[in-house]
């Protein structure tokens, strides 16, 4: 019965209905590498019909009257493509478009279709140009997450953290997918960098909020990152030497497809060796490394297979005293196998098997007492996504995601188990959505997602809706609503992500849920410029996170590990960008509030039965301005400037103090009395970074580029937090600063 | 159009300018400190006031004199009738001692009551359920070799008076502390310019839950004493403390104030107090002590 239904739905019905109409479909690719391009705009100009390529670079336009048309295609950074095609009745034309990269020279002005950014400019969505990631001034190493932190609505906890705090959500509220596979700890250097090697990446897109039914499992946002497929035309490579890390990337074709391999490793050893000459407290060894790879196999015109992997690791050995050593080994591994099958011009499918592992093994050998942790996540899943185009007004999407998640956490103290938690969860979700375009002006995306977790047997339904109205050719009005659930929580510390532990919902620990409401407008005030506005409001209910007052988790019932609370966040984001010419860039402004509330937390002293007052988390920032400007100084020289101004972060002002005797030692216990938590603000944060890039050749073997950067150009002493020195009386408050002025240099060769 | 824009702009500026979560002003609180130890005499009680954080802090300057301090032994749990009352007298500025000698009874509940004649609105009350006594069951070796395979093991009799697991704090008190007697780790950690030597003489663990240890069928808990708790060779006294809820909450929340939890740096909560009308700790412990001699390894 089911088989019959599918046949009717996907095969017979479309063929019967449009037998006399024509269609065109295919991939949009970069002509130099045959890399598929995501969200490229394809159109038949005469009939004003169009489509955007999906995440695999595929497009399909159906229900076309037979005739001759101009097929056009545009994508940022590529020459505008147009070609005359003729479609006969019943024809399904397979046409792969190859776009030629545009070379910016002198004062040449890049012409971009005004329609081009439509897909990228869907509500709550932002796309980060991978070239911009490499161009931005960087703290030692080009970083995907730090580039994303420049977008409105996205904040950083500190200069030392690459964690993403998006629209009032903590980092665990963002689902991070690398080639459709969940990455659990996307950090190197204990949170300083994100794990993703910019040389290996072809596409980064962020759903800041109101994300579609295709995704789920997080309260706030989704970040999707796709590895490069590899050059299908020639073998090519790039190598970069930096002060902190060096990286190499190779890609090329083979008879049935392409491959890509990329590696990166820190190169701190000489610096550590030099520091050890004069300092005792320097790690004896420390490195991070990562590998990315992808192999594509084009079995036929309609069947493509790919296998992608990522492996990253951080390892440190730190003997900090005689008879005391700290060791940490943590990292991620992902593997995904994808089968893309085009049934016909109306039905596109994608099947993915994913595997994701996270491991975290801290060890402390302290005066003959070993303290160890073994923390593992094993997540294996199957995803299937179908895109079906019954007619020009509807795009149906249907998908499933099912998997098994094992989280193992084991602590050992002095050779004996002190805490053990092991969960085997099965999870699943199904979604259905329809993109309905009743006419040229309206686009409505309605969807529903149902998700399930075996631990606690939670079943949740999540409706999603977004409406897009094109007021004029240059103004789009948008709104979106979505319900979201989250079955996981992250135990972390903003200062150090090297001990990250994920835990799941379970009996007595219900999943978090929240609603998001967004309205916005995307405008093109002048050709080559964009101005966007978005307002959002979101709730966060049943947030579960480790109770910070838990002194020792041993023997506690699982629900007793957590505190359960609520939160909400609201704000406005403005984004003005200049997309063309020698000077490009953007200004983003965010005005935001975010709140949390936990029972019996942040009560006034003496209010022992209080329900807890709501408070802003540290990363709440009322005003946040980011300016990014790139200027092509000459054929060889390019400069990029990034400036950030933000309201100081929230902190708790200490008001009073007292001491009591410590019955267990010869010192005293120092105690503060405080008022409302996080009711004060650090001084405003601002920092300017600048980079200069000089392109040239490497002994005629290939192109090369020097990059010179200065971080914190005017050496602003931004404050991370205040520390207290109790040896002084009155107690002394000291500032713990963020990054100082930091010059860096790197050299890249492309061959 | 202009008036609308002006109004919207004004509202926006108002929202930005308006602080909807203002900082509190400093408020003074009475501070109580007293730890009852099962089978010990009633301890002294310290009564003071909090100091503004910017002020020079000496207990004497903020001590509260002239208070009426009473501790009641209750017939049952919290809210039950008073069986006996112990009146305290001030013996020093802010320091109060019981007028009668009384040995704190294990597994019983005591109530604190303080009023301050100079402040008629002040009434401080708190309760503590004293942990039951326990003892080390095993025979402790006279001496052990530092970091040898034969670690010191303590068999601790079960606690009987709580519905929850037992919370321990272990303290090692060196009897022959000297620079020469430092174990290698602490010899390296000790910096005479920044550290006080006395801080190493008496060191303690954080809170350790009973579930960390092996429990035998008779309910005895076997504890392997970690080498990291030994700062000095030669004679050491090891004290096992069992905490009541008040001390447990006070200690664990005090540790959070100074960092090290999952809270962001700079997010400082108040301590968890089990007291009305004041802050501090009125809690109780049960403790047992053993002696051992730690030999240098060959």
Quick check: A656 and B26 CB within 8 A?
A: yes
Whole-angstrom distance, CA of residue B130 vs CA of residue B286:
7
| Residues 481-520 (A) with a CB less than 8 A from some CB of B | 491-495
Q: Do A177 and A276 fall into the same domain?
A: no
Whole-angstrom distance, CA of residue B91 vs CA of residue B2:
75
Last residue of a domain, one of A224, A254, A273: A224
Whole-angstrom distance, CA of residue B7 vs CA of residue B5:
5
Q: Do B291 and B209 fall into the same domain?
A: yes
Residue A535's Cβ-count burial label (10 Å; 0-12, 13-18, 19+) is middle
Our measurement of the distance from residue A46's CA atom to the centroid of its chain's CA atoms, rounded to an integer in Å, reads 38
Whole-angstrom distance, CA of residue A73 vs CA of residue A50:
9
Residue of B nearest to A556 (CA): B211
Tokens of A123: 């509500």
pLDDT in tens, A649-664: 999 999 999 999 888 8
Q: Do A233 and A93 fall into the same domain?
A: no
Tokens of A271: 């610096």
- Whether residue A654 lies within 8 A of chain B, CB to CB, comes out as yes
Q: Is pLDDT above 70 for A5?
A: no
Q: What is the DSSP string of A22-50?
A: EEEEEEEEETTT--B-TT-EEEEGGGTEE
Q: Do B89 and B183 fall into the same domain?
A: no
Quick check: A655 and B24 CB within 8 A?
A: yes
**Short-list A334, A436, A330, CA closest to A381:** A334
User: In sequence order, what are the beta bridge partners of A572?
Assistant: A535, A591
Residues of B in contact with A734 (CB under 8 A): none
Q: Do A524 and A571 fall into the same domain?
A: yes
- Whether residue A280 lies within 8 A of chain B, CB to CB, comes out as no
Last residue of a domain, one of B129, B161, B181: B129
Mean pLDDT on A9-35: 69
Q: Is residue B20 part of a domain?
A: no
Quick check: A656 and B203 CB within 8 A?
A: no
Q: Is residue A425 part of a domain?
A: yes
Q: Is residue B179 part of a domain?
A: yes
Task: Characterize B36-48 residue by residue with b for buried, 16 or more Cβ atoms within 10 angstroms of its Cβ, and e for exposed.
Answer: bbbeeebbbbbbb
Last residue of a domain, one of B129, B157, B189: B129
Total length of chain B:
298
Top residue of A537, A673, A730, A733 to mutate, by most chain B CBs within 10 Å, is A673
Alpha-carbon dihedral A79, A393, A27, A380, rounded to 10 degrees = 130
- Whether residue B280 lies within 8 A of chain A, CB to CB, comes out as yes
Q: Do B290 and B227 fall into the same domain?
A: yes
Please tell me what DSSP assigns to residue A608.
T
| SS3 state of residue B180 | helix
Q: Is residue B7 part of a domain?
A: no
Average pLDDT, chain A: 90
Q: Do A160 and A231 fall into the same domain?
A: no
Determine how many CB atoms are found less than 10 A away from the CB of residue A40: 25
Q: Do B157 and B98 fall into the same domain?
A: no
Quick check: A617 and B16 CB within 8 A?
A: no
Smallest CA–CA separation between A674 and chain B, in Å? 6
Residue in A321, A546, A623 closest to B185 by CB: A321
Q: What's the angle, vertex CA B198, arms to CA B204 and CA B31, rounded to 5?
A: 65
Whole-angstrom distance, CA of residue A6 vs CA of residue A355:
29
Domain count, chain B: 2
Q: Do A574 and A484 fall into the same domain?
A: yes
Q: Is residue A109 part of a domain?
A: no
Radius of gyration of chain B (CA): 25
Domain count, chain A: 3
Whether the CB-CB separation of A642 and A150 falls below 8 Å is answered with yes
Q: Is residue B254 part of a domain?
A: yes
Q: Is residue A9 part of a domain?
A: no
Residues of A in contact with B280 (CB under 8 A): 658, 660
The answer for residues whose C-beta is within 8 angstroms of residue B64's C-beta and 6 or more apart is B30, B47, B48, B49, B94, B116
Q: Is residue B8 part of a domain?
A: no
Q: Is pLDDT above 70 for A685?
A: yes
Q: Is residue A3 part of a domain?
A: no
**Short-list A130, A129, A157, A153, CA closest to A588:** A153
Q: What is the CATH number of the domain that holds A28?
A: 2.60.40.1120
Mean pLDDT on A192-219: 92
- Whether residue A729 lies within 8 A of chain B, CB to CB, comes out as yes
Q: What is the CATH number of the domain that holds A143?
A: 2.170.130.10
Smallest CA–CA separation between B193 and chain A, in Å? 12
Residue in B22, B54, B266 closest to A618 by CB: B266
Map tokens 């009641």 to a residue. B72
Q: Do A193 and A247 fall into the same domain?
A: no
Q: Give the pLDDT confidence score for residue A107 in this predicted structure.
A: 37
Q: Do A129 and A56 fall into the same domain?
A: no
Q: What is the CATH number of the domain that holds B34?
A: 2.60.40
- Whether residue A163 lies within 8 A of chain B, CB to CB, comes out as no
Residue A696's Cβ-count burial label (10 Å; 0-12, 13-18, 19+) is exposed
Our measurement of the distance from residue A137's CA atom to the centroid of its chain's CA atoms, rounded to an integer in Å, reads 19
Q: How many residue pairs bridge chain A and chain B with CB atoms within 8 Å of each other?
A: 250
Out of A237-241, A429-433, A556-560, A576-580, least confident range: A576-580
Q: Which domain holds residue A205?
A: 125-224
Smallest CA–CA separation between B298 and chain A, in Å? 15
Q: Is residue A605 part of a domain?
A: yes
Q: Do A578 and A608 fall into the same domain?
A: yes
Q: Is residue A13 part of a domain?
A: no
Q: Is pLDDT above 50 for A731?
A: yes
Smallest CA–CA separation between A682 and chain B, in Å? 10
Q: Do B158 and B290 fall into the same domain?
A: yes
Q: Is residue A7 part of a domain?
A: no
Q: Give the pLDDT confidence score for residue A247 in this predicted structure.
A: 93
Q: What is the DSSP string of A420-447?
A: EEEEEEEEEEEEEEEEE-SSSSEEEEEE
Q: What is the CATH number of the domain that holds A537?
A: 2.40.170.20
Residue in A660, A670, A675 closest to B281 by CB: A660
**Short-list B195, B178, B290, B150, CA closest to B234:** B178
Q: Do A93 and A187 fall into the same domain?
A: no
Q: Do B91 and B37 fall into the same domain?
A: yes
Question: How would residue A726 be classed by pLDDT, with cut points 50, 70 and 90?
Answer: confident
Whether the CB-CB separation of A187 and A193 falls below 8 Å is answered with yes
Q: Do A446 and A326 fall into the same domain?
A: yes
Cα torsion A725, A726, A729, A731: sign: positive
Q: Is pLDDT above 90 for A153?
A: yes
Top residue of B48, B51, B53 to mutate, by most chain A CBs within 10 Å, is B53
Q: Do A442 and A571 fall into the same domain?
A: yes
Determine how many CB atoms are found less than 10 A away from the CB of residue B141: 12
- Whether residue A679 lies within 8 A of chain B, CB to CB, comes out as yes
Our measurement of the distance from residue A461's CA atom to the centroid of its chain's CA atoms, rounded to an integer in Å, reads 25
Q: Is residue A361 part of a domain?
A: yes
Among A4-18, A20-34, A373-387, name the most confident range: A373-387
Whole-angstrom distance, CA of residue A331 vs CA of residue A245:
17
Per residue of chain B (298 residues), what is the pLDDT tens digit?
Answer: 566 667 767 766 666 666 789 999 999 999 999 999 999 999 999 999 999 999 999 999 999 999 999 999 999 999 999 999 999 999 999 999 999 999 999 999 999 999 999 999 999 999 999 999 887 766 778 899 999 988 898 888 866 656 788 999 999 999 999 999 999 999 999 999 989 999 999 999 999 998 888 888 888 888 889 999 999 999 999 999 999 999 999 999 999 998 878 899 999 999 999 999 999 999 999 999 999 999 999 8
Residues of B in contact with A673 (CB under 8 A): 27, 29, 50, 270, 279
| Residues 230-249 (B) with a CB less than 8 A from some CB of A | 230, 239, 241, 248-249
Last residue of a domain, one of B70, B101, B129: B129
Radius of gyration of chain A (CA): 27
Q: Do A436 and A565 fall into the same domain?
A: yes
Half-sphere exposure of A29 (CA within 13 A, CB side): 18
- Whether residue A448 lies within 8 A of chain B, CB to CB, comes out as no
Q: Is residue B5 part of a domain?
A: no
Q: Do B83 and B149 fall into the same domain?
A: no
Q: Do B82 and B179 fall into the same domain?
A: no
| Residues 55-94 (B) with a CB less than 8 A from some CB of A | 55-59, 62
Q: Is pLDDT above 50 for A17?
A: no
Q: Is residue B136 part of a domain?
A: no
Q: Name the strand (E) or helix (H) holding B60.
A: helix B59-62
Whole-model pTM: value is 0.90
Q: Is pLDDT above 50 for A112?
A: no
Q: Is residue B25 part of a domain?
A: no
Last residue of a domain, one of A186, A208, A224: A224
Mean pLDDT on A614-641: 94
Last residue of a domain, one of A197, A224, A251: A224
Q: Which domain holds residue B40?
A: 30-129
């Amino acid at each position: 019965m089911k088989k019959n239904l599918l046949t009717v739905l996907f095969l017979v019905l479309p063929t019967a209905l449009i037998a006399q109409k024509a269609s065109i479909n295919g991939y949009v690719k970069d002509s130099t590498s045959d890399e598929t391009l995501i969200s490229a705009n394809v159109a038949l100009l005469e009939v004003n019909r169009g489509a955007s390529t999906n995440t695999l670079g595929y497009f399909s336009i159906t229900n076309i009257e037979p005739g001759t048309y101009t097929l056009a295609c545009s994508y940022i950074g590529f020459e505008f493509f147009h070609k005359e095609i003729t479609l006969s009745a019943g024809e399904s034309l397979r046409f792969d478009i190859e776009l030629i990269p545009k070379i910016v020279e002198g004062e040449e002005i890049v012409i971009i279709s005004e329609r081009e950014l439509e897909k990228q400019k869907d509500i709550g969505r932002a796309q980060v140009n991978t070239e911009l990631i490499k161009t931005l001034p960087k703290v030692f190493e080009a970083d995907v997450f730090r580039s994303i932190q420049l977008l409105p609505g996205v904040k950083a906890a500190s200069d030392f953290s690459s964690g993403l705090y998006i629209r009032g959500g903590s980092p665990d509220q963002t689902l991070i997918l690398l080639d459709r596979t969940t990455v659990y700890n996307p950090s190197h250097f204990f949170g300083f960098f994100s794990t993703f090697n910019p040389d290996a990446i072809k596409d980064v897109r962020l759903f800041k909020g109101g994300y579609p039914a295709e995704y789920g499992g997080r309260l706030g946002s989704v970040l999707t990152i796709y590895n490069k497929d590899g050059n299908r035309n020639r073998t090519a490579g790039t190598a970069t030497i930096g002060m902190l890390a060096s990286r190499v990337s190779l890609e090329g074709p083979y008879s049935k497809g392409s491959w890509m391999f990329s590696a990166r490793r820190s190169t701190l050893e000489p610096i550590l060796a030099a520091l050890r000459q004069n300092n005792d407290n320097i790690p004896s060894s420390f490195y991070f490394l990562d590998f990315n790879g992808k192999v594509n196999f084009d079995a036929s015109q309609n069947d493509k297979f790919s296998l992608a992997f990522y492996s990253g690791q951080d390892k440190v050995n730190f003997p900090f005293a005689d008879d005391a050593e700290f060791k940490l080994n943590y990292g991620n591994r992902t593997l995904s196998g994808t089968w893309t099958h085009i049934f016909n011009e109306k039905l596109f499918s994608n099947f993915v098997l994913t595997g994701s592992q996270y491991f975290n093994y801290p060890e402390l050998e302290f005066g003959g007492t070993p303290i160890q942790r073994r923390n593992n996540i094993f997540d294996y899943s199957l995803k299937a996504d179908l895109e079906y185009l019954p007619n020009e007004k509807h795009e149906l999407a249907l998908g499933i995601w099912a998997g098994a998640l094992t989280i193992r956490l084991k602590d050992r103290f002095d050779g004996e188990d002190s805490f053990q938690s092991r969960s085997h969860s099965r999870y699943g979700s199904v979604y259905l959505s329809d993109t309905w375009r009743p006419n040229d002006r309206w686009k409505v995306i309605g969807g529903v997602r149902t998700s399930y977790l075996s631990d606690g047997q939670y079943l949740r339904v999540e409706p999603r809706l977004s409406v897009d109205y094109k007021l004029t050719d240059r103004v789009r009005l948008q709104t979106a609503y979505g319900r979201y659930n989250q079955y996981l929580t992250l135990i972390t510390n903003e200062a150090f992500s090297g001990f990250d532990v994920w835990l799941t919902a379970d009996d007595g620990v219900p999943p978090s849920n929240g609603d998001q409401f967004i309205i916005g407008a995307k405008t093109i005030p002048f050709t080559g410029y964009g101005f966007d506005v978005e307002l959002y409001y979101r709730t966060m209910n049943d947030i579960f996170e480790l109770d910070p007052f838990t002194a020792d988790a041993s023997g506690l019932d699982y629900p007793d590990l957590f505190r359960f609370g609520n939160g909400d966040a609201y704000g406005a984001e403005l984004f003005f960008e200049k997309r063309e010419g020698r000077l490009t860039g953007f200004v983003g402004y965010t005005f935001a509030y975010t709140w949390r509330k936990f029972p019996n937390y942040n009560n006034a002293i003496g209010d022992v039965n209080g329900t807890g007052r709501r408070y802003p988390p540290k990363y709440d920032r009322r005003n946040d301005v980011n300016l990014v400007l790139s200027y092509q100084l000459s054929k060889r020289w390019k400069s990029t400037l990034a400036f950030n101004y933000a309201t100081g972060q929230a902190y708790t002002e200490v008001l009073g103090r007292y001491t009591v005797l410590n019955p267990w030692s010869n010192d005293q216990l120092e105690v503060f009395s405080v008022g409302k938590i996080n009711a004060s603000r650090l001084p405003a944060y601002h920092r300017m970074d600048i980079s200069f890039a000089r392109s040239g050749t490497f002994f005629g073997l290939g192109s090369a580029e020097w990059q010179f950067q200065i971080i914190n150009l005017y050496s602003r002493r931004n404050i991370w937090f205040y520390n207290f020195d109790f040896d002084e009386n009155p107690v002394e408050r000291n500032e713990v600063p963020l990054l100082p002025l930091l010059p860096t240099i790197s050299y890249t060769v492309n061959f | 159009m202009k008036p609308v824009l002006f109004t919207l702009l004004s509202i926006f500026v108002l929202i930005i300018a308006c602080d909807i979560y203002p900082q509190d002003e400093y408020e003074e609180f009475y501070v109580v400190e007293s730890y009852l130890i099962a089978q010990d005499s009633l301890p002294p009680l310290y009564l003071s006031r909090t100091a503004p954080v910017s002020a020079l802090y000496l207990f004497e300057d903020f001590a509260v004199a002239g208070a009426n301090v009473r501790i009641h032994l209750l017939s049952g749990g919290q809210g039950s009738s008073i069986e006996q009352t112990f009146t305290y007298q001030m013996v020093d500025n802010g320091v109060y001692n019981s007028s009668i000698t009384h040995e704190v009874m294990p597994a019983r509940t005591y109530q604190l009551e303080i009023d301050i004649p100079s402040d008629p609105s002040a009434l401080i009350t708190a309760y503590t359920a004293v942990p039951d006594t326990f003892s080390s069951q095993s025979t402790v070796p006279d001496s052990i070799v530092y970091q040898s395979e034969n670690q010191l093991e303590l068999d601790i009799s079960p606690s009987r008076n709580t519905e929850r697991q037992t919370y321990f704090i272990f303290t090692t008190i060196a009897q022959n502390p000297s620079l020469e007697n430092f174990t290698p780790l602490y010899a390296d950690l000790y910096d005479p310019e920044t550290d006080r030597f006395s801080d190493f003489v008496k060191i303690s663990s954080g809170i350790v839950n009973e579930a960390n240890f092996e429990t035998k069928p008779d309910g005895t808990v076997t504890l392997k004493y970690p080498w990291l708790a030994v700062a000095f060779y030669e004679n050491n006294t090891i004290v096992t403390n069992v905490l009541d809820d008040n001390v447990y909450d006070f200690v664990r929340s005090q540790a959070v104030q100074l960092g090290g939890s999952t809270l962001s740096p700079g997010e400082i909560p108040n301590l968890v107090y089990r007291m009305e009308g004041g802050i501090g700790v009125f809690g109780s412990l049960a403790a047992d002590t053993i002696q051992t001699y730690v030999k240098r390894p060959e």
